[in-house]
Amino acid sequence: MNDTHPHGLAEHLDLIAAMSLSFATSMDLDTSLRHGLERIADALDAEAASLFLVEKAEMVCHACFGPVDITGLRIPASSGIVGRTVVERSTQSVLDVRNDPDFHGGVDNKTGFITRSILCAPMVVRDEALGAIELINKKTGTGLFEESEARVLEALAAAAALALLNARMAQALVEQERMKREMELAAQIQQGLLPPNRPPPFPIAGLGRPFREVAGDFYDILPLLDGRIGFCLGDVSGKGMDAALLMAKTASLFRALAKDQRDPGLLMARINAELCETASGGKFVTLVVGFLDASGQRLSFANAGHEPPLLIRPGQPAVSLLAPSPPVGILSDALYETEDVTLDGGALYVFTDGLTESLAEDGTMLGAEGVAALIEEGQDKPLAERLHALADGAMAPGRAVHDDLTILAVEGGSKPVAFDATEPVQHLAHLDIPAQPNRLKLIRRVVAESAALAGLNENKSADLVLAVDEAMQNVIRHAYQGPTDKPVDIDITREEGHLVVRLTDYAPPVDQSRIRPRALDDVRPGGLGTHFIQSVLDGHQFEEPPPGAGNRLKLSLRIEP
């Protein structure tokens, strides 16, 4: 065949044009390459054809045509004639492969196929060799591929290389856009989970400044019905959507479990067990969880492998509260200790390592001592402003932060809660709950915390809790004639040196004249009430209920200095 003939040249040009257009416009490049190889082999009169791409230190066959399917074949990147083509970035034409020292005869040995001649052209774009197209066994003439055929294959290999590069760039853009959307969604998830700061005198505030668009840190503040305030701060290993989802799960677990668990160590253990059961990919969370009690003076917390919180009290050196327990999400049977702290007018600061690892120009880290010094500088500021000043100090000119920066502070009053003696009624707590036995535990908690807030001593507090519990059982059993979803309003106030609890139900009015103590040998839970209430309380009486209500019982106990 004389390829210099105008007719042969025209056919080759048509082939190059058709294949270039097919490669450039294909939405399925792999399929187009496979079909293209068949057409190229047919046009250039080859028995077989293959396309190899460079993947790290190997050459991998991604498409082939001929009597033997070698798709997926892997050879060392510099092996064989195809490897030499890529390394030298030049077309190789071999009439008799048996005389070529680089010929890789492994396929022939395995399949029985006999390779005689090869024409191989590199796929090069911008001086980068992406792979090579190989034609095997010229079926006519002398068996040697013509020079003009080599030029055609070079043009087709260049077109395939350009199409492959464009496909990879398009895929990279799609992946980049996907990652952008993923990061935006992760940021939205995080922002939706962070609680807003409440104005003073609310005793807990938080602040988060992500190093990138999506942070691996989070915090939460959870006021509870019994007057306590739950809080947590954590740092998830890793970044991106996986970390954001783990953060969301951990924060959700805290919110769900903190409502029924008073002990931070046990709460941490439950969070850990849940994460160990479902978390994957080797991710974990360093975490601090805790509760500030209703008095605002005492808090308890547990630390799972997180930075040691700083306790700073007026006139005392800062104390780092170390934690030996592991992060959550690693050991399913890990135990977590509960630490109890009295604030004494000070504050507990919890933060991530983005704060302590703030770097000065000389390479020294801020550290716990530097954090304590910055806190001292802003001590006269309101709590939220103090946190912003602390973060600003860590990011001041001459310092560099290379990670997310998250801070949470729990502040106590300078002295026990003071009540205004000139104010006749001071409200401590209010509950509006269904008349169900499973709510009694919550009521006991609220009464106990309110008693502590009002300054009632421990013994009297226990008496009041039991008295209210008995009265509430009587409401359920006798006023409502059994458990119901109908409400009971509970108001707890401090009035003229007394702690007062009012129970308001919406049952039919009771005949007060028929309410009298039982014989002491016939008492049981819910029946001890009248005897007990009379013996431990300073006052108990029915009041005129508000419009629409059925009965209102007032219980009072004097608060002794």
pLDDT tens track for 523-536: 454 445 566 677 77
- The whole-number pLDDT of residue 497 equals 83
Distances from the Cα of 507 to the Cα of 515, 525, 546, angstroms: 16, 21, 13
102-116, 125-139, 174-188, 439-453: least confidently modelled range: 174-188
What pLDDT was estimated at residue 189?
61
By the 8 A CB rule, do 504 and 475 touch?
no
Q: Which residue has the higher pLDDT, 19 or 303?
A: 303
Q: What is the pLDDT of residue 300?
A: 94
User: Which of 70-74, 151-155, 279-283, 347-351 is the least confident region?
Assistant: 279-283
> Residue 341 is inside which H or E element, if any?
strand 339-342
Lowest mean pLDDT among 25-34, 100-109, 168-177, 485-494: 25-34
Residue 11 or residue 83, greater confidence:
83
Count of residues in the chain: 561
Whether the pLDDT of residue 416 is over 60: the answer is no
- Residue bearing the bigger pLDDT, 324 or 389: 389
Inter-residue contact 310 to 343 (CB < 8 Å): no
Query: Could you tell me the CATH superfamily of domain 6-170?
Result: GAF domain (3.30.450.40)
Task: Give yes or no for residue 6 having a pLDDT over 80.
Answer: no
Q: How far is residue 68 CA from its own chain's centroid?
A: 51
**Which of 36, 190, 194, 49 lies closest to 113, judged by CA?**
49
Structure confidence at residue 264 as a pLDDT band (50, 70, 90): very high
pLDDT value at 135 more than 90: yes
- The SS3 assignment for 206 reads strand
Q: So what's the pLDDT on residue 4?
A: 46
The C-alpha atoms of residue 311 and residue 289 are separated, in whole angstroms, by 15
Which pLDDT does position 221 carry in this prediction? 92
Please report where in the chains the tokens 């002398």 appear, as a residue.
142
pLDDT digits (tens, 9 = 90+) for 501-511: 999 999 999 88
When pLDDT is cut at 50, 70 and 90, the band that residue 122 belongs to is very high
Q: Is the pLDDT of residue 5 over 50?
A: no
pLDDT the model gives residue 60: 92
Query: Comparing C-alpha atoms, which of 48, 94, 53 is closest to residue 69?
Result: 48
Q: What is the pLDDT of residue 1?
A: 41
pLDDT, one tens digit per residue, over 85-114 is 999 999 999 999 989 999 988 888 888 899
Q: Are 239 and 226 in contact (CB under 8 A)?
A: no
Angle at 166 between CA 161 and CA 167, to 5 degrees: 95
Question: Taking 90 as the threshold, does the pLDDT of residue 437 lie above it?
Answer: yes
Query: How far is Cα 141 from Cα 152, in angstroms, rounded to an integer?
Result: 18
Query: What does the pLDDT read at residue 292?
Result: 92
* Angle (CA) 149 151 156, round 5°: 95
pLDDT band at 418 (very low <50, low <70, confident <90, very high): very low
Q: Which CATH superfamily is domain 194-411 in?
A: PPM-type phosphatase domain (3.60.40.10)
Taking the whole predicted model, whether its pTM rises above 0.75 is answered as: no
| CATH topology for the 425-558 domain | Heat Shock Protein 90 (3.30.565)
Would the pLDDT of 423 be above 90? no
What mean pLDDT do residues 399-405 have?
78
Q: Determine contact, residues 558/498, Cβ cutoff 8 Å.
A: yes
Cα gap 355→5, rounded to integer Å: 77
pLDDT computed for residue 29 by the predictor = 64
Instruction: State which amino acid sits at residue 119.
Output: L
Sheet holding 298-304, edge to edge: 217-223, 229-236, 285-292, 298-304, 339-342
Q: pLDDT class for 415, splitting at 50, 70, 90?
A: very low
Report pLDDT for 43: 85
Which contacts of 84-90 are long-range, i.e. CB under 8 A and separated by 24 or more positions?
Answer: 85/120, 85/121, 85/122, 85/132, 85/134, 86/52, 86/54, 86/59, 86/122, 86/129, 86/131, 86/132, 87/129, 88/122, 89/122, 89/124, 89/127, 89/129, 90/122
Mean of the per-residue pLDDT values of the chain:
83
Give the start-to-end residue ranges of the domains of the chain: 6-170, 194-411, 425-558
